[in-house]
Amino acid sequence: MATNPTDKIMFEKPWSRLLWIKQKYPDNYTDPHFIHFMEKMKKRREGPPVIDYDFSQIRKDILKFYNIFLNSCFIYISFTLIYYYRIDARYLAGTVTLITMIVSTHKDKELTSLLNVKSSLIIIFTLLTLSPILRSLSMTTASDSIWTVSFWINIIYILTCATSSLSPSPHEEESKIQEQSIFYDINDHSNNKPSNLATNLLLANVAMLASRLDTTTDVFCFLLTAIQVNIILPRIINISHKKVATISSMIVYMFVGITIGYRITMIFLFLSVSYTVLVPRLFHYWQINYRRRDYEILDLWDPRTPMVDCQ
Amino acid sequence: MSNYIFWPSELLRKEISISDQVLCLVAIKLKETDYVVISIENFSSSSSKELLNSLTSPYSVIGVRDMNGDWDISLPGFTIVEFEIPKFKLMEFYSIEPISLILSEHEIENNKVFQKFPNIEKIMGYERYQCKNYQLNNTIDIINAYTANRYAFHNTYAQFGHFEDDAMSIIGIIRKWYTSTAIYRGLCFVLYMITMIVCSLSYSGYIFIRNGIPKILSLSSTAKQIDLRLQQICYFPIQFIKINQSKALEETIPNYQEQRSNSNSVRAKEAPYKYYPDYIRFYNTLWLIVNDISFGLMLGAVLKDNHDLIINSLSEVVTTTLYDKMINLTYVLANNPFGIKLNHELASFLSELFYWIIEFSYNSLIKFTSDKEKLSVFLKIVTKISCVLGASFAISLVIDFFSLLFFHLYLFYHISRKLYHWQLNTLISLFYLFCGKKRNVLRKRIDYDYFELDELLLGTLLFIILTFLMPTVLSFYASFAVIWVSTVYIHVILNSIVSLINHFPLFAFLLRIKDPKRLPGGIILSPKHHKNGRIILSLENSPLKVNNMFKPFSYSMNKMKEYYFSMKTFKSLLGGSPIMIQMNEMYDVLYLWLPEEPMSIQETMTQLKECLPRKTEKLE
């Protein structure tokens, strides 16, 4: 310390806590800022909690899971209708397409940006070409195993889809405007798109289920319905909106009530209500009382993994 | 620096036996060598004293013993090293480096350690790692030529001692007379002509195999065997010339008086023992060929005795394993093997394809070869070839026969492997797409990317379809890969038997047992006893290590292990990379005994002609 190396260093590049950069500092160098930082953290810990956890944000995030769950229920509803109740798949697909058309005429300029003619042609021809193959593929596989695989894929789908769009929009006012409107601004790519993995999982689930259907038409119509309900519509409509959520809840509960029975529907209802009401409160409580508040230290002072320049 | 006096043990014994005489020690020392005692002379008479004092370089008197038997050596800080005189006639010699049984031109690439470090040559070229002191090497050269050196000394100074000239035996006289006659010259010429004809035939055969039929060497082991034998025949005269040269060199007497003008350098290159490895290689090859033929005779006898039994069993084995069992296997694979439900359409398509190949190969090949009469003809041919050309040829023929028979197995493996490999790679890239990632070709890594809905849909549907089809392809691939790999192992085992017959270091091995001094693997200097308060070191030969002798062989074994029994093989089997019979790799080691290119026939001819005895030449 006699030569006072800190003085020298002041004029050089400031030390940064990055292991993969060669710096002109000794290996055992301790940044003087570290002590200041620790003292600041200590003071903050002793005082009242500074961060005010936003309860409404938590509730919104929790509800997102629920909404995606409701949305994915439509796959099973349409599948049950075609596979078990043997309704004509063409009518179902036609109805859903009509709804999509109506919704999209509301914002038809954006629809063309989302799905241009080339893409839709490719999708339709892909479905037409591959649906007979899909149908014949899993002939030898037992139905039970398909149900199990579908169940697990769906769970992974809900988790990935919800977590990939969890983080709140950086501009609060914009996001508030967005939340209040039923329709998304499609040109805004910030928040309303689930990750590729989620979309793929959904498609995989749908394709697995479709391979159980009897005729090629059924397969085609089912795939078309599922893609519209679960991929295209959520990109146009805000499924977290109150009206949309209420309508989809009503449809799902009605369907469960009619097909399975009212007792189970009641249990189902009770579970979902407790989830939407209790879980956010519990989580908020945990955040205020039990959450570590020194994660900032870990965030700043722990060796981070190098970022390889991703796009 | 201490001086070393290399003292032959024979002279040490002589010194002890002569008591109560004044003796002096005459030694030879060239530039950059130690003293090597060449003679012990009587120092009592004045005439000899005068003569001894008039000795010129490289000879000098380095010590005198008085009447009491105490030596007074005129060198400061000397150490006596005792050594046995290497028997020249028996081809014994000392060597610091272990002698190489393979040709030196193959050494570096043969060495596994060198292969690992490509910069090794650069490092070796660095002056720090280069040995500058060749004193011991040069001294060893003198010791190796000890007999000739002593002879030279006695020739120059005829007054000293009496060198026991070999009394010529009767056989020697007859031999000398015989070699000077015209009959001998004529016989030599006839032999030369025969050698030349055989050599040119084999050389043209070699050229024909190399250039006439492309790729035959990598396909047929019989061709490889023929090629090897032809190259060996082409190399024989050259080896013979080298050995002959060394014999001629043995008889020349180093004349240091003349050499002094050439700054006393020891012409190490021309030292005859440098050609001894050639001698060993030559006789090893000859012996192996003889051995091969004797094995072949045994094998032929066995084959002939059990002719009917072999034919019956072989015909049955070929039809059952290559036809019936294959059809069975394909049927099982097409119909839910082990209760695993495969994709019916694909499985039936593949099995149809394989049925067709089996039927085709049955009609065109297996039916023909499993016919008992034809098999009998083939076996007779194999028996005869085994008796005439050796067991290696017979086994090679059998290998080729089986590789022809196994061809449809290879086709099965190849088809299912291609399918599997293609599907696996597609699945992997589609899986990346499934996770929303993409292979970045420029940076060779997997990056995130954004895909459009249609891309995702197409990719996912294809991914699911391929995933459903994977078990079917995998089961076909797995079963045929196992069959193919087992046939490859049969090949490998048979091929290693052939290579064992072809290059087992038999001669060197026997030589090692008979006279280890002929196969030096280095020298040992060990303290032997004290004399007058001095330690006398003894120079001994450390014979070549057995594992050193088998180095090329173990190298090829390691290579085989690497190719067929390693984790890498297993991984490439899993990844669907091809597993082939590496014919070239397995035989590489055989050619370590041979030069890369045989010498052209004209050159061989001229060189060999020089070795012919001439009429004008006067034999000494």
Comparing C-alpha atoms, which of B426, B299, B430, B310 is closest to residue B372? B310
Q: Is residue A2 very low, low, confident or very high in pLDDT (cuts 50, 70, 90)?
A: very low
Same structural domain for residues B417 and B279?
A: no
Is the pLDDT confidence value at B165 over 60? no
Q: Are residues B312 and B454 in the same domain?
A: yes
- pLDDT bin (cut points 50, 70, 90) of residue A156 is very high
A-B Cβ pairs (cutoff 8 Å, strict) = 85
C-beta atoms of B453 and A231 within 8 A: yes
Residue B38 falls within a domain, yes or no? yes
pLDDT of residue A3: 44
Whether B24 maps to a domain, the answer reads yes
Q: Are residues B23 and B160 in the same domain?
A: yes
Q: Are residues B218 and B313 in the same domain?
A: no
Sign of CA dihedral B386, B389, B392, B396: negative
| Closest by Cα among B438, B432, B437 to B463 | B432
Residue A233 token pair = 């519509």
Within 10 Å of residue A166's Cβ, how many Cβ atoms?
13
Are the CB atoms for B314 and B375 separated by under 8 Å? yes
pLDDT reported for residue B268: 41
- CA B521 vs CA B95, B129, B246, B370, B544: distances in Å: 7, 22, 20, 53, 4
More confident residue, A5 or A294: A294
Residues B353 and B403 occupy one common structural domain: yes
Query: Is the residue at B489 inside a domain?
Result: no
Q: B266 with B361, same domain?
A: no
pLDDT(A307) > 60: no
**What is the reported pTM?**
0.73
Residue written as token pair 């991929």: A231
Mean pLDDT value of segment B577-590: 69
B521 is a domain residue: no
Distance CA B504, CA B546 (A): 12
Pairing type for strands B71-73 and B520-531 reads unpaired
Distance (Å, whole) CA B409 – CA B467: 26
**Per-residue pLDDT, A9:** 47
Domain that holds residue B364: 304-483
Query: Closest chain B residue to A232 measured between Cα atoms?
Result: B453
Over residues B583-593, the mean pLDDT reads: 64
Q: What is the DSSP string of B137-155?
A: HHHHHHHHTHHHHHHHHHH
> How far is the C-alpha of A61 from the C-alpha of A68, rounded, in Å?
11
CB B140 within 8 A of CB B523: yes
**A281-to-A56, A287, B121 alpha-carbon distances in Å:** 10, 10, 73
Q: Which of A40-49, A228-237, A288-297, B309-318 has the highest mean pLDDT?
A: B309-318
Cα separation of A192 and A162, whole Å?
A: 11
The residue extents of the domains of chain A are 58-167+189-238
Residues B187, B364: Cα–Cα separation, whole Å: 54
What is the pLDDT, as a whole number, of residue B318? 85
Indicate whether B301 pLDDT > 60: yes
Helix (H, G, I), strand (E, B) or coil at B302: helix
User: Residue B442 gets which letter from DSSP?
Assistant: T
Cα angle for residues B158, B164, B169 (degrees, 5° grid): 130
Range with lowest mean pLDDT among B176-180, B420-424, B572-576: B176-180
Closest C-alpha among A88, A126, A72, A91 to residue A213: A88
Helix B567-575 with B551-564: angle, nearest 10 deg: 30
Peptide bond into B598 cis (omega under 30): no
Cβ contact, residue pair B460, A140, below 8 Å: no
This complex has an ipTM of 0.71
Q: Do B389 and B288 belong together in one domain? A: no
Measure in Å the smallest separation between the Cα of A62 and chain B Cα atoms: 24
Short-list A82, A121, A96, CA closest to A211: A82
Which residues from A are below 8 Å from B454, CB to CB? 118-120, 122-123, 126
Residue B29 has pLDDT above 70, yes or no: yes
- Average pLDDT over chain A reads 77
Q: Do A204 and B460 touch (CB under 8 A)?
A: yes
Residue ending a domain, choose from B483, B504, B526 = B483
* Backbone angles phi and psi of B7, in degrees to 5: -120, 115
Whether B99 is in a domain gets the answer no
pLDDT in tens, A228-257: 888 888 877 777 778 888 888 898 888 988
Same domain assignment for residues B356 and B453: yes
The per-residue pLDDT for B428 is 92
User: Does residue B13 register a pLDDT over 80?
Assistant: no
Report if residue B551 sits inside a domain: no
CA of residue A184 relative to chain centroid, distance: 16
Contacts with A207 from chain B: Cβ below 8 Å: 460-461, 464
B232 and B361 assigned to the same domain: no
* Of B351, B338, B353, B236, residue with least CA distance to B284: B236
Domain termination residue (choose one: B460, B483, B506):
B483
Residue B446 pLDDT greater than 50, yes or no? yes
Residue B490 lies in a domain: no
For residue A310, give the amino acid letter: C
Half-sphere exposure of B379 (CA within 13 A, CB side): 24
Confidence of residue A106 (pLDDT cuts 50, 70, 90): low
Nearest CB partner across the interface for A140, out of B344, B450, B454: B344
Residue B85: per-residue pLDDT:
81
Q: Does residue B284 sit in the same domain as residue B403?
A: no
Domain count, chain B: 3
- When CB atoms are compared, the residue of A119, A133, A207 closest to B453 is A119
| Through-space distance between the first and last CA atoms of chain A, rounded to whole angstroms | 44
Is the per-residue pLDDT at B427 higher than 90?
yes
Do residues B206 and B324 share a domain?
no
Partner A contacted by B459 (CB < 8 A):
yes
Residues in A lying within 8 Å of B, measured between beta carbons: 115, 118-120, 122-123, 126-127, 130, 133-134, 136-141, 195-197, 199-200, 203-204, 207-208, 211, 227, 231-232, 308, 310-311
Domain final residue, candidates B483, B512, B528: B483
Looking at the DSSP assignment, which residues form a beta bridge with residue B528? none
pLDDT (0 to 100) of residue B572: 86
Distance CA A262, CA A264 (A): 5
Residues B287 and B325 in one domain: no
